[in-house]
């Protein structure tokens, strides 16, 4: 079956006190207070300091906070893009050890919205899985049979990123010129982290919003800085 837009994103865990620790790190750099005594500084001071360093672009301190996501029912095309973000940890469902004999794939909206293209797409997927299962039936190892599987094949992955890496990820992947699937993922992840670290991720998004610049130089984009 083709999964059209059934992507699931869940924040599994995150650094305890994800905004307090970066604030303590920021205070440390301009204070004689020993690190072990920074917890005694007032909570109000933590928020003020963190807000100030973020405004100045001093984002190294937020590397002390990390976030782990469970991501399911996405395509291998998406995860190929996702793992290009190198400062992160990934654990992905294996095509060597997991039985993939049932067709399970993502259907892009541009294909799914048209009956003619959707039919052609589904027929292609049916042929691919038939040959995949045929190879398995001929005792071809799953690690070799998987070579015929498409980028559309569904997969599940766990991702851990620190907050600074997430800022970069959101800047690039929330952009309207990012591919639709990874843009959807980025927006879902951003929604999750805003719940637990609202100050860090308050003004986060594509660079047209955060920096008033468009690296893509796409003047026809509705978000292009005026």
> Would 16 be classed as within a structural domain?
yes
> Would 138 be classed as within a structural domain?
no
**Residue 121 near residue 3 (C-beta atoms within 8 A):** no
Q: What is the CA radius of gyration of the chain?
A: 22
> Would 135 be classed as within a structural domain?
no
Q: What pLDDT shows up at residue 5?
A: 60
> Would 146 be classed as within a structural domain?
no
**Residue 31 near residue 182 (C-beta atoms within 8 A):** no
Residue keyed to tokens 């984009």: 221
Residue 162 is inside which H or E element, if any? strand 154-162
> Would 66 be classed as within a structural domain?
yes
> Would 115 be classed as within a structural domain?
no
Query: What string of H, E and C letters represents the secondary structure of 39-74?
Result: HHCCHHHHHHHHHHHHHCCCHHHHHHCEEEEEEEEE
> Would 70 be classed as within a structural domain?
yes
By DSSP bridging, strand 2-3 and strand 105-106 are: parallel
Which residues form the domain of 191?
A: 8-90+154-210
C-alpha to C-alpha distance for 63 and 22, rounded to whole angstroms:
7
Instruction: Using alpha carbons, select from 108, 22, 3 the residue that is nearest to residue 65.
Output: 22
> Would 139 be classed as within a structural domain?
no
Instruction: Using alpha carbons, select from 12, 182, 174 the residue that is nearest to residue 84.
Output: 182
Q: Tell me the DSSP string of 78-111.
A: HHHHHTT--SSEEEE--TTTS---S--EE--HHH
Q: What pLDDT shows up at residue 4?
A: 54
Q: What pLDDT shows up at residue 171?
A: 95
Which tokens belong to 65? 């906070």
Q: Please tell me the pTM assigned to this model.
A: 0.92
Q: What pLDDT shows up at residue 2?
A: 58
C-alpha to C-alpha distance for 151 and 121, rounded to whole angstroms:
13
Number of domains the chain contains:
1
Q: Which residues are catalytic?
A: 173
C-alpha to C-alpha distance for 109 and 210, rounded to whole angstroms:
28
Question: What is the domain-level CATH number for residue 68?
Answer: 3.30.1360.170
Residue 9 is inside which H or E element, if any? strand 8-14
The residues of the chain scoring below 50 in pLDDT are none
C-alpha to C-alpha distance for 31 and 8, rounded to whole angstroms:
43
């Amino acid at each position: 079956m083709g999964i059209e837009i059934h992507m699931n994103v869940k924040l599994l865990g995150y650094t305890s006190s994800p905004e307090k620790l970066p604030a303590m790190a920021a205070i440390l750099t301009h204070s004689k207070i020993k690190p072990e005594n920074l917890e005694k500084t007032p909570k109000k001071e933590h928020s003020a300091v963190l807000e100030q360093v973020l405004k100045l672009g001093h984002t190294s301190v937020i590397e002390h906070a990390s976030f782990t996501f469970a991501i399911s029912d996405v395509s291998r095309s998406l995860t190929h893009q996702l793992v290009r973000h190198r400062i992160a940890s990934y654990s992905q469902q294996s095509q060597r050890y997991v039985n993939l004999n049932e067709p399970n794939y993502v259907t892009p909206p541009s294909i799914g919205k048209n009956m003619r293209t959707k039919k052609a797409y589904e027929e292609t997927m049916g042929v691919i899985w038939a040959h995949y299962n045929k190879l398995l039936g001929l005792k071809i190892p799953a690690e070799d049979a998987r070579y015929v599987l498409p980028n559309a094949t569904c997969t599940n992955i766990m991702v851990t990123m620190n907050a600074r890496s997430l800022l970069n990820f959101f800047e690039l992947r929330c952009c309207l010129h990012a591919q639709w699937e990874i843009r959807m993922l980025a927006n879902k992840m951003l929604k999750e982290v805003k719940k637990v670290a609202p100050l860090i991720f308050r003004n986060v998004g594509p660079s047209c919003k955060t920096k008033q610049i468009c690296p893509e130089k796409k003047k026809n984009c509705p978000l292009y800085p005026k």
